[in-house]
Amino acid sequence: MTIQVVATHPFPDQKPGTSGLRKKVTVFQTPHYLENFIQSTFDILESCQGQTLVVGGDGRYFNRQAIQVILKMAAANGFARVKVGQNGILSTPATSCIIRKYRTIGGIILSASHNPAGPGGDFGVKFNTSNGGPAPEKVTKAIFERTQAIGNYKILSAADVDLGTLGETNLGTMVVEVIDSVNDYAQLLETLFDFDRIQQFIASGSFKFIFDAMHAVTGPYGRRIFEERLGAPAGTVQAGFPLEDFGGGHPDPNLVYAHDLVAQLFSETGPDFGAASDGDGDRNMILGRNFFVTPSDSLAILAANATLVPGYRHGLAGIARSMPTSQAADRVAQQLRIPTFETPTGWKFFGNLLDAGQATVCGEESFGTGSNHVREKDGLWAVLFWLNILAVRQESVAAIVTQHWQTYGRNYYSRHDYEGVASDRAAELMAQLKAKLPTLKGKALGSGVVSYADDFSYKDPVDHSVSENQGLRIGFEDGSRMVFRLSGTGTEGATLRLYLERYEPDRHKQDLDAQVALQDLIGLAESVAQIKHFTGREQPTVIT
């Protein structure tokens, strides 16, 4: 086995987005493309010598091939050990857990998360640092700069490693340790939740639930935890075996893409509770019978009920949410007299707050919720949190949510996505809106008065780093808001996201459909940003 030093040239487009580097599979299959990015990542580490790395992915097409390349490059770069999930499978939160538990230098997660997979689909590479969290901006910036200067990479010429069998093998001087994909993670969750109580609740027969793994990474996790450990009947986990193309679906747990699950919950004979996760297992969607819980409400409800769950019985230090996420959680924090933090979109911005002990739970409107148990959002964690609350309160999901609204008021909320818009048109929309913002403050817009209109920028309270251009916001005196952002995770054209929020304290006006309740704001967003004109679309692609 010899170490090859392969000459290469920079690719101009290796800048990580909201969550890692995402490209079409065909781009990653371009000779040297994957290798360049991996070598650049290794190069910015202080030293690879003698270090341990965690590697795994969501099981999508090209996962297995990419892992073999990474193992051989890790061996050539001096790593002592790589912990790799069996058959290359590790969910994003499980990877975070393993990095932290074994104090490794970091980990590489192969996933494009909720983006579709297969030979014509997407692939992605995320690097997580030694705290278990997504690389912060200063690290992704350093990686990108390195990709622009790279001249060669190192790789061991060796046969592929068998990833199907648990245990250790040698690759040059490096040890490849194939680990059970679920064990460490399941053990961690067991320390947080009252598994016995949930088990009894399920065994009582009065409560039925289903979990849709969407043929993505959470299948093995869901089967082990829900069916084997908690005794839920076989079949509770649906689409529970990872497929390289996710069964042709879009592994994004929302009302549009998780239609099979939604159809089951929205039927009179349906289960009491339903949940789904995404490609790499960090997202969650929560449903009750005939009831959809918005991710923003879910965050607020988990926070309000946290002391019912053993891992959080002493309360929370603080709550952090991404800027476009609704302010429902802020109202809970206010009542609990704990701080809230408003960060830019992307889990990497929660890392410092979690490390510093300033926030205990975090959430994003994009179906992401998590806590300080790892440094990623965590789909199964959120499902177990709900199961624990339901087992203690013995009420329906709908009852818990409506009671929450009665106590705190309801933050009507919706996100409208316009996917696959021409990039230049989307950029024009944002530019013209940004130019207009300074003129809006203090003006009447529709029936409201604008109290602020700006481009969100964030100063991290821990390391004081500043992140600019994080979304255009227009806020009204009554607390209503609309936010415009372009997605940083797509691989084709641009996706415009419009986030809408309006607060309703009156309990007699809290049962409207969100689209109806937000009608005025939707109209205002169109008039101020000319969405139809710039996108050429009459309707959003996805409404959640």
Helices 295-304 & 397-408 angle (0-180, nearest 10) = 80
> Is the CB of 146 or the CB of 283 nearer to ligand VG1?
283
Q: Which of 308, 92, 96 is nearest to 193 (CA)?
A: 308
Total Cβ atoms within 10 A of residue 179: 20
Told to check if 499 binds ligand VG1 by CB under 6 A, we report no
488 binds, among Co ion, ligand VG1, none (CB under 5 to 8 A by kind): ligand VG1
Taking CB under 6 A as the criterion, the residue among 60, 114, 373, 473 binding ligand VG1 is: 114
Taking CB under 6 A as the criterion, the residue among 91, 113, 326, 388 binding ligand VG1 is: 113
346 binds, among ligand VG1, Co ion, none (CB under 5 to 8 A by kind): ligand VG1
> Is the CB of 278 or the CB of 460 nearer to ligand VG1?
278
Stretch that binds ligand VG1, among 35-43, 98-106, 175-183, 481-489 (CB under 6 A): 481-489
Told to check if 378 binds ligand VG1 by CB under 6 A, we report no
Strand 448-455 relative to strand 444-445, pairing: antiparallel
Residues 6+ apart with CB under 8 A from 138: 465
Told to check if 218 binds ligand VG1 by CB under 6 A, we report no
Residue of 19, 96, 111, 113 with catalytic role: 113
Told to check if 364 binds ligand VG1 by CB under 6 A, we report yes
Annotation marks residue 326 as catalytic: no
In the complex, least distance from residue 251 CB atom to Co ion, rounded to whole angstroms: 8
Q: DSSP labels for 117-161?
A: -STTSEEEEEEE-TTSSBPPHHHHHHHHHHHTT--EEEEEE-PPP
Handedness of CA 360, 470, 491, 496 (dihedral sign): positive
Q: Which of 92, 71, 426 is nearest to 279 (CA)?
A: 92
What does the binding site for Co ion look like in residue numbers (CB under 5 A)? 113, 278, 280, 282-283
Measure the CA–CA gap between 29 and 292, rounded to whole angstroms: 39
Stretch that binds ligand VG1, among 1-9, 35-43, 213-221, 482-490 (CB under 6 A): 482-490
Measure the CA–CA gap between 339 and 317, rounded to whole angstroms: 7
366 binds, among ligand VG1, Co ion, none (CB under 5 to 8 A by kind): ligand VG1
Stretch that binds ligand VG1, among 63-71, 228-236, 486-494, 531-539 (CB under 6 A): 486-494
In the complex, least distance from residue 108 CB atom to Co ion, rounded to whole angstroms: 15
In the complex, least distance from residue 347 CB atom to ligand VG1, rounded to whole angstroms: 5
Measure the CA–CA gap between 193 and 308, rounded to whole angstroms: 9
> Is the CB of 348 or the CB of 410 nearer to Co ion?
348
The conformational region for residue 347 under phi > 0 = left, psi -120 to 50 = alpha, else beta, is alpha
In the complex, least distance from residue 283 CB atom to Co ion, rounded to whole angstroms: 5
Measure the CA–CA gap between 35 and 30, rounded to whole angstroms: 10
In the complex, least distance from residue 322 CB atom to ligand VG1, rounded to whole angstroms: 6
Strand 52-57 relative to strand 21-24, pairing: unpaired
Stretch that binds ligand VG1, among 56-64, 396-404, 485-493, 508-516 (CB under 6 A): 485-493
Q: Which of 346, 422, 392 is nearest to 133 (CA)?
A: 346
Coil, helix or strand at residue 265? helix
> Is the CB of 251 or the CB of 270 nearer to Co ion?
251
> Is the CB of 194 or the CB of 376 nearer to Co ion?
376
Taking CB under 6 A as the criterion, the residue among 283, 375, 416, 502 binding ligand VG1 is: 283
> Is the CB of 140 or the CB of 480 nearer to Co ion?
140
Told to check if 278 binds ligand VG1 by CB under 6 A, we report yes
Residues 6+ apart with CB under 8 A from 294: 326, 365, 413, 514, 544
Q: Which of 503, 291, 512, 253 is nearest to 400 (CA)?
A: 291
420 binds, among Co ion, ligand VG1, none (CB under 5 to 8 A by kind): none
Residues 6+ apart with CB under 8 A from 317: 338, 357, 358, 359, 360
In the complex, least distance from residue 468 CB atom to ligand VG1, rounded to whole angstroms: 15
The conformational region for residue 42 under phi > 0 = left, psi -120 to 50 = alpha, else beta, is alpha
> Is the CB of 347 or the CB of 413 nearer to ligand VG1?
347
250 binds, among ligand VG1, Co ion, none (CB under 5 to 8 A by kind): none
Told to check if 19 binds ligand VG1 by CB under 6 A, we report yes
> Is the CB of 446 or the CB of 488 nearer to ligand VG1?
488
Beta bridge partners of 368: 283, 364
224 binds, among ligand VG1, Co ion, none (CB under 5 to 8 A by kind): none
Q: Which residues bind ligand VG1 (CB under 6 A)?
A: 18-19, 113-114, 278, 282-283, 322, 345-347, 364, 366, 368, 487-489, 497
Active site amino acids: 113
